[in-house]
Amino acid sequence: MTTTREGTCCAEMAMVCLTDFEEYAKEHLSKATWDYYAAGADECCTRDDNLLAYKRIRLRPRILRDVSVCDTRTTVQGTEISFPVGIAPTAFHCLAWHEGEMATARATEAVNTCYITSTYSTCSVEEIAAAAPNGYRWFQLYVYRDRKLSESIIHRVEALGYKALVLTVDVPYTGKRRNDIRNQFKLPPHLKVKNFDGVFQEAAGPAGEEYGVPANTLDPSISWKDVYWLQSLTRLPIIIKGILTKEDAELAVEHGVQGIIVSNHGGRQLDGGPATIDALSEIVDTVQGRIEVYLDGGVRTGSDVLKAVALGAKCVFIGRPAVWGLAYKGEEGLKEVLHILNDEFRLSMALSGCRNVAEINRNLIQFSKL
């Protein structure tokens, strides 16, 4: 609330749920920036299905369970976080808020959860670490044609105390995002992909620039043997992001990775793949607890979080809602998004009869309706 000189209160827009932040961001960001964050591939079927799939899942609440105290804490890779929601790697936070990823890092440190920093950050890994020295962070990695680029950033994040590497595996090529093509999306001149500042100079070449780096920088030849290559470079746990099938989940376990993020890149890569919440069960059944399974895509409410955890996700990660929080009020806005989700999650737990995260299991899900 803001108070005028006369002492009467004029209400700021009350932020009640995550879609309030979405509406604010859509209104206040430039069209090209909004379109970039909102984009899905092709007809956006997978992007939209990520959300709709949650609405098809029904819960089986238990009653009279003494839910006077509900504990939302959990662990990821052995580290305790305040609730099973972290920040997924998304690019270019400075487009939403001038402090960009430094604000994201401070918000996640304050809330005590996990922040997966994107390779495509508009602040460097060093700036992010300095902004929130006690934050719990993983680093999202792409593999480049020039392997030395990938090697050097791995050594940088390891030295800075990032706790895991998240290898994105669903981008041998960038998906076709129609509005970005129509808008000829480019980073504004005052922003750059900070982690590679000076590396590419003006090396865009004949193929031009794609999302802040020269086109064709990513290596489409990446394969399972590159997991072994990464393991030879680092002692950090390796988590694979972008798995949607039981076959690839089994291969991930066989290759000795420490975690899987069930992800379709927010519906920005292959259009027509499954919603992540629909892909989760077969992956959890295949992995059988050998490694942790996480999920991103479509999480907008506390009951979405509850459904994902009930179906076997150790933690979920939010992408677009984090950017909406930044667009609203930077660090404070993102903290608000996380607090709302945590409050909703705690309420959904209580109304379902779960006193702690360990009590959330598949008995909560009505399978006949799936």
The token duo for 123 is: 């602040």
Is 142 annotated to bind a ligand? Reply is yes
The token duo for 327 is: 């667009």
Is 355 annotated to bind a ligand? Reply is no
Is 203 annotated to bind a ligand? Reply is no
Is 272 annotated to bind a ligand? Reply is no
Neighbours of 16 (CB within 10 A): 9
User: Distances in Å between the alpha carbon of 44 and those of 32, 38, 40, 268?
Assistant: 17, 10, 5, 8
Is 265 annotated to bind a ligand? Reply is yes
Is 182 annotated to bind a ligand? Reply is no
Report which DSSP code applies to 18: H
In this structure, are residues 355 and 71 in contact, taking their beta carbons and an 8 Å threshold?
Answer: yes
Classify residue 64 as exposed, middle or buried by CB count within 10 Å of its CB (0-12, 13-18, 19+): exposed
Question: Phi/psi at 3 (nearest 5 deg)?
Answer: -105, 130
User: How would you classify the pairing of strands 74-76 and 9-10?
Assistant: unpaired
Is 58 annotated to bind a ligand? Reply is no
Is 184 annotated to bind a ligand? Reply is no
Neighbours of 124 (CB within 10 A): 21
Is 108 annotated to bind a ligand? Reply is no
Report helix, strand or coil for 136. strand
Q: Choosing from 28, 93, 255, 265, which is the catalytic residue?
A: 265
Closest CA to 290 of 264, 262, 255: 255
In this structure, are residues 34 and 25 in contact, taking their beta carbons and an 8 Å threshold?
Answer: yes
In this structure, are residues 100 and 122 in contact, taking their beta carbons and an 8 Å threshold?
Answer: yes
Is 319 annotated to bind a ligand? Reply is yes
Is 265 a known active-site residue? Answer: yes
Is 320 annotated to bind a ligand? Reply is yes
Is 263 annotated to bind a ligand? Reply is yes
Question: Phi/psi at 88 (nearest 5 deg)?
Answer: -70, 155
Is 305 annotated to bind a ligand? Reply is no
Question: Phi/psi at 181 (nearest 5 deg)?
Answer: -70, -45
Is 269 annotated to bind a ligand? Reply is no
Q: Looking at the annotation, which residues are catalytic? A: 265
Residue list, annotated binding site for glyoxylate: 36, 142, 177, 263, 265, 268
Residue list, annotated binding site: 36, 89-91, 118, 140, 142, 168, 177, 241, 263, 265, 268, 296-300, 319-320
Residue list, annotated binding site for FMN: 89-91, 118, 140, 168, 241, 296-300, 319-320
